[in-house]
Amino acid sequence: MRHIRLIIIALSVAVFSAHAFEGTRFEHKDWYLACDNTGTCRAAGYAPAALGYGMAIMFSREAGPATQIDAKLFLQLNDGQALPPSVTFLIDNQDLGPIYIDKGSQLNAIQVQALLAVVTTNAVIEVGAGRQRWGISGHGASAVFRKMDEYQGRSNTPFAVVAKGSKLESQVSPAKAPLRLAAQAPLANGVTLEVGSAAYNEVLQLLTTHVAASELDFELQSASLETAELGEGKRFIGACWFMAYNALCNHWLADKNRPNQLIALGSDGFYDDGMARQDRKARGYGDCWENQAWVFDGQSMVPTLISSTGPCRGIAGGIDPMPTYITDVTFSFKQ
**Residue 149 identity (one-letter amino acid):** D
Q: Which of 171, 198, 215 is the last residue of a domain?
A: 171
Question: Mean pLDDT across the chain, nearest whole number?
Answer: 91
pLDDT at 11: 33
Q: Which of 142, 171, 200 is the last residue of a domain?
A: 171
Q: What is the pLDDT of residues 191-239, one digit of tens each?
A: 999 999 999 999 999 999 999 999 998 999 999 999 999 988 999 999 9
Residue numbers of the domain that contains 236: 179-333
Do residues 122 and 267 share a domain? Answer: no
pLDDT at 3: 35
Do residues 188 and 294 share a domain? Answer: yes
Domain annotation covers residue 287: yes
Do residues 86 and 213 share a domain? Answer: no
Alpha carbon distance 233, 165 (integer Å): 59
Domains contained in the chain, number: 2
Domain annotation covers residue 10: no
Q: Which of 155, 171, 187 is the last residue of a domain?
A: 171
Do residues 139 and 284 share a domain? Answer: no
Domain annotation covers residue 12: no
Do residues 188 and 292 share a domain? Answer: yes
Residues 155/187, Cβ–Cβ less than 8 Å: no
Domain annotation covers residue 73: yes
pLDDT at 19: 65
Question: How does residue 10 score in pLDDT terms, banded at 50, 70 and 90?
Answer: very low
Q: E strands along the chain, which residues?
A: 24-28, 31-35, 41-46, 53-61, 70-77, 86-91, 94-100, 125-129, 132-136, 179-185, 191-192, 224-231, 234-242, 247-255, 258-265, 270-272, 275-282, 288-296, 301-308, 325-333
Q: What is the pLDDT of residues 131-151, one digit of tens each?
A: 999 999 999 999 999 999 999
Q: What is the pLDDT of residues 13-34, one digit of tens each?
A: 333 334 689 999 999 999 999 9
Round to the nearest angstrom and report the end-to-end CA distance of the chain.
Answer: 60
Do residues 71 and 196 share a domain? Answer: no
Do residues 139 and 203 share a domain? Answer: no
Do residues 113 and 256 share a domain? Answer: no
Domain annotation covers residue 211: yes
Domain annotation covers residue 9: no
Q: What is the mean pLDDT of residues 265-294?
A: 89
pLDDT at 140: 97
Burial of 124 per CB tally in 10 Å (0-12, 13-18, 19+): middle
Alpha carbon distance 77, 58 (integer Å): 18
The larger pLDDT score, comparing residue 310 to residue 20, is at 310
The CATH number of the domain holding residue 28 is 2.60.40
Q: What is the mean pLDDT of residues 163-182?
A: 94
φ and ψ of 279, to 5 deg: -115, 100
Do residues 193 and 101 share a domain? Answer: no
Domain annotation covers residue 128: yes
pLDDT at 37: 98
Domain annotation covers residue 1: no
Q: Which of 226, 273, 234 is closest to 251 using CA atoms?
A: 226
pLDDT at 8: 30
Do residues 207 and 320 share a domain? Answer: yes
Do residues 35 and 61 share a domain? Answer: yes
Q: What is the mean pLDDT of residues 77-87?
A: 90
Do residues 300 and 213 share a domain? Answer: yes
